[in-house]
């Protein structure tokens, strides 16, 4: 049987056709009025997508580069940072702060759970000198959504800035940067922004700029100040990934036209459809507070999760992700973000049911499909 290939892993994700075509434009020089005009529009559109009035810096790097930039520009070697660890990417914040010699406190959250805001509030009262709280919007490794709005309210009452890794969520998972009082939001191009890997972004609030002025850590390529000064000139301090920026412009055109409220509603519906479908098949979720952009499904006892993940690709042409570290082989992670539609989700549910059946665990695929379709058919 022939199966069309579907990329349903939580990054990289499928690329919008308009963006693919835009990236194939003939190359132009990056120090020209023509390219400056493109960048000017991109910088404004990014503020719309981030839901902020603050500048959004643009880096040619993976999302991790912008994470490192946030640490290098906001922290000091004589003031502690607080890292919320509840998955691989929460852990990454701590790895970066330690690499820069920043004193690092941590709140360890059991994988599958979201942080309790009260713990953060208690910590900041005990250590008001904390420079920044580093956390994630959508923890890709567990598919957990942290309570960013609550954390914003807590940090805004202090001298501590809130820095959010929104790489796997921004543009799909609801994140209202200014309204939720988030000081820095990091994003990556290859997730809900619907283009290939290679670009990273960071929105920076006025409160965060005060921290930039105080930072005593080394930085050069990732200097917030250098990038910010170049935004005013509609350019970048160093050679940008020109073709990726053409692609980003096409994706942002699409997102601005759809509107962020509509985008959030669409992802909420796709996420709920997947969760309802999984539940109707008698399966359970790993995340206790799940995100809308991806779903981590617990592999039933007695089933080899590695074989199930591989079967998605070899038997059904679908790429999904497995678990990491302690949950390797115990979950499969299915994305529904960016350039994906309800039929991608239905295909994943069908493959999940068929794969489990071939591995000896029968589920009611029809019930799963029916439950998902019921959500999809609901009126907005």
Q: Cis peptide leading into 12, omega within 30 of 0?
A: yes
List own/partner pairs for 175-180 with CB under 8 A and 24 or more apart. 175/50, 175/51, 175/137, 175/148, 176/51, 176/149, 177/50, 177/51, 177/52, 177/54, 177/203, 178/51, 178/52, 178/53, 178/54, 178/205, 179/51, 180/148, 180/149, 180/152
6-12+259-377 CATH pick, 3.90.1150.10, 3.50.50.60, 3.30.70.1150, 2.60.40.1180:
3.90.1150.10
> What local confidence, expressed as pLDDT, does residue 332 receive?
98
Q: In angstroms, how far is CA 225 from the centroid of its own chain?
A: 24
CA distances to 131, 135, 224 from 161, in Å: 7, 11, 15
Looking at residue 2, its pLDDT comes to: 82
User: Which parts of the chain register pLDDT below 70?
Assistant: none
> What is the rounded end-to-end Cα distance, in angstroms, of the chain?
37
- The residue extents of the domains of the chain are 6-12+259-377, 17-258
CA dihedral 87, 92, 97, 99 (to 10 degrees): 140
For 210, residues 6+ apart whose C-beta sits below 8 A from its C-beta are none
Query: Distance between CA 260 and CA 47 in Å, rounded?
Result: 11
| Residue among 65, 43, 63 nearest 53 (CA) | 43
CA-only gyration radius of the chain, Å: 21
Distance separating alpha carbons of residues 33 and 101, to the nearest angstrom: 41
Residue 258's CB is within 10 A of a number of other CB atoms, namely 11
Tokens of 197: 């890997």
Nearest alpha carbon to residue 50 among 167, 207, 132: 167
17-258, what's its fold? 3.40.640
Residues 6+ apart with CB under 8 A from 261: none
Do 139 and 167 meet the contact criterion of CB atoms below 8 Å apart?
no
Cα–Cα distance, 200 to 187 (Å, whole number) = 6
pLDDT of 33 reads 97
Q: Residue 123 in contact with residue 129, Cβ under 8 Å?
A: no
Residues 43 and 36: their CA atoms lie apart, in Å, by 10
């Amino acid at each position: 049987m022939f199966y069309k290939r579907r990329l349903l892993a939580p990054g990289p994700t499928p690329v919008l056709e308009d963006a693919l075509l835009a990236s194939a434009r003939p190359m132009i020089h990056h120090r020209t009025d023509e390219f400056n005009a493109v960048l000017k529009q991109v910088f404004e559109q990014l503020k719309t997508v981030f839901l902020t009035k603050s500048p959004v810096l643009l880096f040619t790097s993976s999302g991790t580069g912008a994470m490192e930039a946030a640490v290098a520009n906001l922290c000091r070697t004589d003031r502690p940072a607080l890292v919320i660890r509840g998955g691989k990417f929460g852990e990454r914040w701590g790895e970066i702060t330690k690499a820069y010699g920043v004193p690092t406190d941590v709140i360890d959250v059991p994988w599958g759970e979201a942080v309790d805001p009260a713990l953060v509030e208690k910590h900041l009262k005990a250590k008001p000198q904390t420079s920044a709280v580093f956390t994630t919007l959508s923890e890709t490794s567990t598919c957990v959504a942290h309570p960013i709005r609550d954390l914003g309210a807590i940090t805004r009452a202090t001298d501590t800035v809130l820095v959010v890794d929104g790489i796997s969520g921004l543009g799909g998972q609801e994140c209202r940067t200014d309204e939720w009082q988030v000081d820095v939001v990091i994003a990556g191009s290859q997730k809900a922004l619907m283009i290939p890997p290679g670009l990273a972004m960071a929105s920076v609030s006025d409160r965060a700029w005060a921290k930039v002025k105080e930072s005593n850590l080394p930085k050069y390529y990732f200097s917030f100040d250098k990038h910010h000064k170049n935004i005013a000139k509609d350019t970048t301090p160093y050679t940008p990934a020109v073709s990726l920026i053409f692609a980003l412009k096409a994706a942002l055109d699409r997102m601005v036209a759809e509107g962020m409220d509509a985008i959030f509603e669409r992802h909420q519906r796709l996420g709920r459809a997947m969760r309802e479908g999984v539940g109707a098949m008698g399966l359970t979720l790993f995340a206790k507070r799940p995100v809308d952009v991806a779903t981590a499904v617990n592999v039933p006892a007695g089933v080899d999760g590695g074989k199930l993940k591989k079967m998605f690709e070899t038997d059904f042409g679908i790429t999904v992700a497995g678990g990491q570290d302690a949950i390797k082989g115990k979950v499969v992670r299915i994305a529904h973000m960016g350039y994906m539609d309800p039929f991608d989700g239905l295909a994943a549910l069908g493959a999940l049911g068929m794969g489990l059946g071939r591995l000896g665990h029968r589920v009611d695929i029809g019930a799963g499909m029916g439950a998902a379709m019921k959500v999809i058919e609901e009126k907005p």
